[in-house]
Amino acid sequence: MADRSGTKGTAVAEITLAVSRDVVAARQAVARVLKERGLSAMRITRFATAVSEIARNAIVHGGGGRISIYLDPGKAYLRVECRDDGPGIEDVTLAMTEGYTTAGGLGRGLGGAKRLSHDFEIRSAPGEGTTVSMSVKL
């Protein structure tokens, strides 16, 4: 396999998010890597659920996007970056608030994903899409 190492680390997988089946593909890809790395079922479930949340957000709110999974250069973390070119989020703090929802959901997804991952960063602006980056310790 070609070495795909970059500044971000070694790419493991990249998945296009368009339909809900792709959410399953994304979290299965993450779960597979974590399992190979010997993480406990508990930690795999936690991070896979976080990935499920943000991948679904990219489809429901962002109209689809891409998710990249890579090992960071020190190989101590698995990082997931999910981008969409949707309308973006006007008020990120409000979006992170528990129970706040614009699409009739539970309003727990973003806050939940943050709690389920080691670190969590969200960048968004109106008209500029949304990028969520989060990681899990290996």
Partner 1 sequence: MPQTSTANILSILETDFSSLIEDWLGTQVKEGVKRSDLFSDSESRAQNRELLRAFSKGVRAGVVNEEFNLDDDAWEDLRAVLVDVSKERVGRGVTPTEMATFVLALKSTLFKRLEAMPDLEGQRLIRDVLMVTRLVDAFAIYTNEIFIGERDQIIERQRQEMLELSTPVVELWDRVLTLPLIGTLDSARAQEVMENLLQTILERQAEVVIMDITGVGTVDTQVAQHLLRAAAAVRLMGAECIISGISPMIAQTMVQLGIDVGTVSTRSSIRTALSDALQKVGYVIKTSEVS
Q: Which residues are at the interface with partner 1 (CB under 8 A)?
A: 20-21, 23-24, 27, 41-42, 45-46, 48-49, 52-53, 56, 98, 105-106, 108-109, 111-112, 115-116
Give strand pairing partners of 96: none
Nearer to partner 1, 8 or 64 (CB): 64
Minimum CB separation from partner 1 for residue 60, in Å? 9
Q: Give one word for 99, left, alpha or beta, with left for phi > 0 and alpha for psi -120 to 50.
A: left
**What is the distance between the alpha carbons of residues 104 and 83, in angstroms, rounded to a whole number?**
22
**What is the distance between the alpha carbons of residues 104 and 127, in angstroms, rounded to a whole number?**
22
Write down the residue that tokens 């500029």 correspond to: 128
Minimum CB separation from partner 1 for residue 3, in Å? 30
Nearer to partner 1, 64 or 112 (CB): 112
**What is the distance between the alpha carbons of residues 98 and 67, in angstroms, rounded to a whole number?**
24
Minimum CB separation from partner 1 for residue 42, in Å? 5
Nearer to partner 1, 12 or 110 (CB): 110
Minimum CB separation from partner 1 for residue 13, in Å? 17
Q: What six digits make up the tokens of 136?
A: 């899990």
Nearer to partner 1, 87 or 112 (CB): 112
Write down the residue that tokens 């998945």 correspond to: 15
